Amino acid sequence: MQKRRFTALIAGLFASTALGFSMPATAQQYKDEYKLSTVLGEAFPWGWGAKRWADLVAEKTEGRIKIKVYPGTSLVSGDQTKEFTALRQGIIDMAVGSTINWSPQVKELNLFALPFLMPDHKAIDALTQGRVGKKMFDILAERDVVPLAWGENGFREVSNSKKPIRTPEDVKGMKMRVVGSPLFLATFNALGANPTQMSWADAQPAMATGAVDGQENPLAVFNAAKLHTVGQKNLTLWGYVADPLIFVVNKSVWNSWSEADRKAVSEAAQQAAKEEIARARAGISAADDALLKEIEANGVAVVRLTDAERDAFRQATAGVYKEWAEKIGADLVKQAEEDIAKR
Ligand code: X2X
């Protein structure tokens, strides 16, 4: 501990001198280990990305910053919607978090959950890599966190144990598990479903016992969580929303690091995020549908909607889009629509 502090101090001094800054007044207090929160573990692109970030940081800071990944949002007893608050409070040092799980605290993050806003991966990139993404990082930076990179959970496809979903009519009365944002309740209510909010930890037993009929999650999650083993035999590719991930550090933790170490953590986040996005998108496109094939081989009936069929879902949820666009901020939504149109 003493030795590590001393090493950190020396590293800090070198970094400051190299950059021409004056010496820090006090020694930087590095923790022995930093706690990084995620929902999903290493078997999923999300958890893999977090571990990759941790490993790259250890490498680039020569062990000065050691990170332990806590999947299952275990630092907040599995309650995903409390992750952002815990991060602000310093109960969590770092996170790779979904925009959905932080949207109860940061209303602008609901943008990505507006039904049928983003038609494809290019549209996600147009937002996260453009002025909209920058605006969101500015908003987050005012809330005690330092956002470093965008990752991806992915397009959320709907599955259920009852029957193939092809029309909004098919969803009527279905008991659907949804994530902890009111916008998801609104969307499924508009479709006439019977949605219930619950954490991911509670979702899997609820599917196994039949307490819920269905859920929505990206294909990479569906497959790695083996949702076909908990009755999810029908899967509809409707791509109605996608949730990006955000790599962040608590601001006081960030401020405790030397310039050189901050740079290393930031570069590590960008690299891990890029590699994580590639994994999140693997096997689900027309050019490479290996993951989809695997899902079908597990006995899941996959419904691919025509444009007209997809449009029926868009129309059924148009009122929710309109109402929530106001809540999120009409200007931000307009910018997003423009940037998607120009992609
Ligand atoms: O709970 C979910 O559905 C998950 C794992 O996708 C999120 O954390 C948003």
Give residue-wise pLDDT tens across range 192-221.
999 999 999 999 999 999 999 999 999 999
The residue range of the domain holding 193 is 157-241+283-341
pLDDT value at position 141?
98
Clarify whether residues 17 and 118 are in a common domain.
yes
Quote the ligand 1 centre to 158 CA distance (angstroms): 13
Question: The whole model's pTM is what?
Answer: 0.92
Query: From ligand 1's centre to the CA of 249, what distance in Å?
Result: 20
Judgement on whether residues 291 and 184 belong to the same structural domain of the protein: yes
pLDDT at 5 over 60: no
Confidence of residue 286 (pLDDT cuts 50, 70, 90): confident
Atom of ligand 1 nearest to the CA of 40: 5
CA of 48 to the centre of ligand 1 (A): 15
Q: What integer is the mean pLDDT of 311-337?
A: 98
Check if the beta carbon of residue 58 is closer than 8 Å to that of residue 87: no
Who wins on pLDDT, 181 or 161?
A: 161
The answer on 110 and 220 residing in a single domain is: no
Q: Are residues 172 and 221 in the same domain?
A: yes
| ipTM, two decimals | 0.99
Q: Are residues 117 and 58 in the same domain?
A: yes
pLDDT confidence of residue 23: 46
Contact between 159 and 232 (Cβ < 8 Å): yes
Domain tally, the chain: 2
Q: What is residue 301's predicted lDDT score, i.e. its pLDDT?
A: 98
Confidence check: pLDDT of 268 > 70:
yes
Q: Do 52 and 191 belong to one domain?
A: no
CA of 169 relative to ligand 1 center, distance in Å: 25
| Predicted pLDDT of residue 19 | 46
CATH number of the domain that residue 75 is part of: 3.40.190.170
| More confident position, 13 or 311 | 311
Q: Tokens standing for 145?
A: 């966190």
Q: Give yes or no for residue 9 having a pLDDT over 90.
A: no
CA of 41 to the centre of ligand 1 (A): 12
Which amino acid residue places its CA nearest to atom 4 of ligand 1?
Answer: 200
Tokens matching residue 241: 């929303």
Does the pLDDT value for residue 27 go beyond 80?
A: no
Pocket test for ligand 1, best of 98, 101, 197, 246 (most atoms within 8 A of CB): 98
The pLDDT of residue 265 is 98
Residue 6 has pLDDT above 70, yes or no: no
Q: Which are the contacts of 145, defined by CB distance < 8 A and separation ≥ 6?
A: 87, 88, 248, 249, 250, 251
225-262: pLDDT as tens digits: 999 999 999 999 999 999 999 999 999 999 999 999 99
C-alpha 106/C-alpha 200 separation (Å) is 20
* Whether residue 58 is found in the same domain as residue 195: no
Q: Would you call 251 helix, strand, or coil by DSSP?
A: helix
Mean pLDDT over 33-58 rounds to 98
Q: How confident is the model at residue 60 (pLDDT cuts 50, 70, 90)?
A: very high
pLDDT in tens, 105-157: 999 999 999 999 999 999 999 999 999 999 999 999 999 999 999 999 999 99
Ligand 1 nearest atom to the CA of residue 80, by list position: 8
Burial class, 174, CB count within 10 angstroms (exposed 0-12 / middle 13-18 / buried 19+): buried
Residue with tokens 């573990």, as numbered in its chain: 41
Q: Are residues 29 and 54 in the same domain?
A: yes
The closest-lying atom of ligand 1 relative to the alpha carbon of residue 98 is 9
What is the mean pLDDT of the segment spanning 58-81? 98
CA–centroid distance, 187 to ligand 1, in Å, is 16
| Same domain for 229 and 171 | yes
Ligand 1 atom having least distance to the Cα of 180: 1
pLDDT of 180 reads: 84
Which of 233, 260, 281 corresponds to the end of one domain? 281
For residues 278 and 293, what is the distance between their CA atoms, to the nearest angstrom?
A: 18
What is the pLDDT confidence band of residue 3, given thresholds at 50, 70 and 90?
very low
Query: Residue 286 in 3-state DSSP?
Result: coil
| Same domain for 103 and 211 | no
pLDDT at 1: 40
Return the pLDDT at 56. Answer: 98
For residue 177, the ligand 1 atom closest to its alpha carbon is 3
Q: Which residues line ligand 1 (CB under 6 A)?
A: 39-40, 80, 98, 100-101, 153, 179, 200, 217, 221, 243
Q: Is the pLDDT of residue 29 over 50?
A: yes
Q: Best mutation site among 73, 74, 80, 216 for ligand 1, i.e. most ligand atoms within 8 A of its Cβ?
A: 80
Q: Rounded to whole angstroms, how far apart are CA atoms 191 and 195?
A: 10
Q: 338 alpha carbon to ligand 1 midpoint, in Å?
A: 28
Q: For residues 122 and 200, state if they share a domain.
A: no
Is 180 within 8 Å of 81 (Cβ atoms)?
Answer: yes
DSSP structure string for 181-226: -HHHHHHHHHTT-EEEE--HHHHHHHHHHTSSSEEEE-HHHHHHTT
Assign 3-state DSSP to the chain and report helix, strand, coil percentages, each to 5.
Answer: 50, 15, 30
Residues 137 and 248 in one domain: yes
- Coil, strand or helix: which one is 327? helix
